[in-house]
C-alpha cells in the first residue's frame, strides 16, 4: 500500500507546525496566518455578521508570543477574539461549537518538545478544517494585508469560565449510572494543557486521583512524561499502587493507559476495548475507522467479532472524515487519538479514557482481562531519508520488492510505504507474526529504497 501527502507550503497533516523562530512559527508568519484565516472566515458568514474566534494554547513558553501575533491578525481583519489561556485542544473544539463561534484556534505542537509549536484550527462545528480550506488560507497568505479602519477592528476579551465549562462537558460523557468511587488512578498530564482540568474530572466522578506532571513551567511539556513516555506512566502507576494509569499528551488529544501490573495499552488496544463493549451491547453504531498504521491484529480481531473496519489516511481529521462518510461513531489511531463521535467532534484523551473506564466499571474487569482477545502483531517502522521530490515510494523496483514481501507474508501481515508529510522521508512499515522475520523484511525493503536514493 502506498500513500503520498497533499503538497502544501505551510499546513502539514495536523495544522501548521515547526521549530519556534523558524518559518512558519515566527510572529510575522503567524500574524499573516491569522489575517488570512479571518479573511477566509469572512467569506463564510452572512453579510453584516462579525466573525468571532476562540484562541487556546498549551503550556509552551512560545504560546504567549504566538497568541499575541494571532490575535493581532484577527483584530486587524475585523474579527473578535476570545482568549482562554492554557486549555486542551478538544476543549477548544468544544467551546467553538458550544459558543456558536466561527472558529476555534489551538496553539500547540501536541506531543513535540517545548521548542516546537504549531497552530490548529477548528470550524464552527468543532471539526478540523478540510484540505480545501487550508489551501485557500495558504493562497490568502500570499496576498497583502489590508488593516480595517479603526471603527471596524476586532476586540479581544478573556473567557474566565472556560475550564469549568469543559470539565462539566467531559463529565457529561460518562454514564450517569456509574461512578469511579474506590478506583485509584495514576494520572500523568505531561505538564501540558490538561494539568488543571483532567484531575478535577476524575476526582469529581469519585476516583482517588494521584497526579504527576501537573506543574508546567513553559519548558517541561512532554519532557519524559505524558502519553509519549510509556516508562513514565508505568513507573508512576506501580509507585502509587494504582488500579489504572492514564497518560495524556501535551495538548490533551492522545491517550495511553496502564494497568496495575505496569502493562501499557496503546490507541489500537484502547479503541478495541471501547468497540468490543459497544458491539456486545448493540450500540456500536456501524463499524470502526482506523488508519494505515493501525495494527493488523486489530483488523483481524474486528473481523472475528463481526465488526466492520476501514482504514483512513494517517491523521485524526482523516479518521473523522471516514467516520462521517460511513456514518460511524468510533475511530482512532494507534498513537492514542480516539474519536467517540457520539461524545465529541474530535479526539479527546479525557473523554476516551472515561469510555474505557466505563467499560471496566460496568463489566467488573481489568484492562488485561478485557483486552485478552487482542494480541498485537510485531510492527517495524524504518524511516529512509531521501532527496526532496524523489517519490521513491512509487518507484517500480520499490513496488516490486513490496509485492514480494507481501506475498511472503501471505495474509499473515502487511506492508506499508508512506511518504512523510513533513520531512523528505519514505516510511517503510512491515508487520507480521514473527518479529525477526518482520525486521528482516522491513530492512530489505528499506535497503532497496536507500540504494535507489543514492543512485539518483
Positions marked catalytic: 110
Give the separation between CA 291 and CA 177, rounded to whole angstroms. Answer: 33
Give the separation between CA 214 and CA 229, rounded to whole angstroms. Answer: 15
DSSP 119: E
All 3 cell numbers of residue 44? 463564510
Which H, E and C letters describe 76-135, residue by residue?
HCCCEEEEEEECCHHHHHHHHHHCCCCEEEEECCCCCCCCEEEEEEEECCCCECCHHHHH
CB atoms within 10 A of CB 400: 11
Give the separation between CA 396 and CA 449, rounded to whole angstroms. Answer: 11
In this structure, are residues 118 and 23 in contact, taking their beta carbons and an 8 Å threshold? no
CA angle 187, 189, 192 (to 5 degrees): 175
- Report DSSP letters for 149-201, one per residue: PGGG---EEE-TTHHHHHHHHHHHTS-TT---TT-EEEEE-TTSTTTTTHHHH
Burial 18-54, CB ≥16 within 10 A → b, else e: bbbeeebbbbebbbbbbbbbbbbbbeeeeeeeebbbb
Amino acid at each position: 500500500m502506498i500513500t503520498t501527502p497533499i503538497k502544501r507550503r505551510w499546513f502539514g497533516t495536523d495544522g501548521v507546525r515547526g521549530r519556534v523562530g523558524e518559518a512558519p512559527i515566527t510572529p510575522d508568519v503567524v500574524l499573516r496566518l491569522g489575517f488570512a484565516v479571518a479573511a477566509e472566515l469572512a467569506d463564510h458568514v452572512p453579510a453584516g455578521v462579525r466573525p468571532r474566534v476562540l484562541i487556546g494554547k498549551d503550556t509552551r513558553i512560545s504560546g504567549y508570543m504566538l497568541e499575541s501575533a494571532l490575535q493581532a491578525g484577527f483584530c486587524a481583519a475585523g474579527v473578535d477574539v476570545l482568549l482562554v489561556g492554557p486549555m486542551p485542544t478538544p476543549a477548544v473544539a468544544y467551546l467553538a461549537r458550544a459558543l456558536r463561534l466561527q472558529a476555534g484556534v489551538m496553539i500547540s505542537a501536541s506531543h513535540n518538545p517545548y521548542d516546537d509549536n504549531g497552530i490548529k484550527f477548528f470550524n464552527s462545528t468543532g471539526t478540523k478544517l478540510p484540505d480545501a480550506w487550508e489551501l485557500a488560507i495558504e493562497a490568502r497568505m500570499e496576498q497583502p494585508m489590508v488593516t480595517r479602519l479603526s471603527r471596524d477592528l476586532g476586540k479581544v476579551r478573556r473567557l474566565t469560565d472556560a475550564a469549568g465549562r469543559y470539565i462539566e462537558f467531559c463529565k457529561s460523557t460518562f454514564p450517569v449510572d456509574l461512578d469511579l468511587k474506590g478506583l485509584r488512578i495514576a494520572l500523568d498530564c505531561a505538564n501540558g494543557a490538561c494539568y488543571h482540568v483532567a484531575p478535577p474530572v476524575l476526582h469529581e466522578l469519585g476516583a482517588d486521583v494521584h497526579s504527576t506532571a501537573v506543574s508546567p513551567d513553559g519548558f517541561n511539556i512532554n519532557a519524559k512524561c505524558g502519553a509519549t513516555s510509556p516508562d513514565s506512566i508505568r513507573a508512576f502507576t506501580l509507585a502509587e499502587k494504582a488500579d489504572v494509569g492514564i497518560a495524556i499528551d501535551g495538548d490533551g488529544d492522545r491517550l495511553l493507559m496502564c494497568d496495575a501490573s505496569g502493562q501499557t495499552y496503546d490507541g489500537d488496544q484502547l479503541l478495541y476495548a471501547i468497540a468490543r463493549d459497544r458491539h456486545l451491547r448493540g450500540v456500536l453504531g456501524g463499524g470502526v475507522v482506523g488508519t494505515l498504521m493501525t495494527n493488523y491484529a486489530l483488523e483481524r480481531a474486528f473481523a472475528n467479532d463481526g465488526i466492520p473496519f476501514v482504514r483512513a489516511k494517517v491523521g485524526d481529521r482523516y479518521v473523522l472524515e471516514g467516520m462521517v462518510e460511513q456514518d460511524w461513531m468510533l475511530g482512532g489511531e494507534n498513537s492514542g487519538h480516539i474519536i467517540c463521535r457520539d461524545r465529541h467532534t474530535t479526539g479527546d484523551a479525557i473523554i476516551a479514557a472515561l469510555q474505557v473506564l466505563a467499560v471496566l466499571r460496568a463489566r467488573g474487569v481489568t484492562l488485561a482481562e478485557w483486552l485478552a482477545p487482542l494480541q498485537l502483531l510485531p510492527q517495524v517502522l524504518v524511516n529512509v531519508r531521501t532527496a526532496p521530490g524523489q517519490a521513491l515510494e512509487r518507484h517500480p523496483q520499490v513496488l516490486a520488492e513490496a509485492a514480494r514481501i507481501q506475498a511472503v507474508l501471505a495474509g499473515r501481515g502487511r506492508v506499508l510505504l508512506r511518504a512523510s508529510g513533513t520531512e523528505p522521508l519514505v516510511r517503510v512499515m512491515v508487520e507480521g507474526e514473527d518479529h525477526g522475520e518482520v525486521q528482516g523484511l522491513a530492512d530489505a525493503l528499506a535497503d532497496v529504497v536507500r540504494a535507489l536514493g543514492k543512485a539518483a
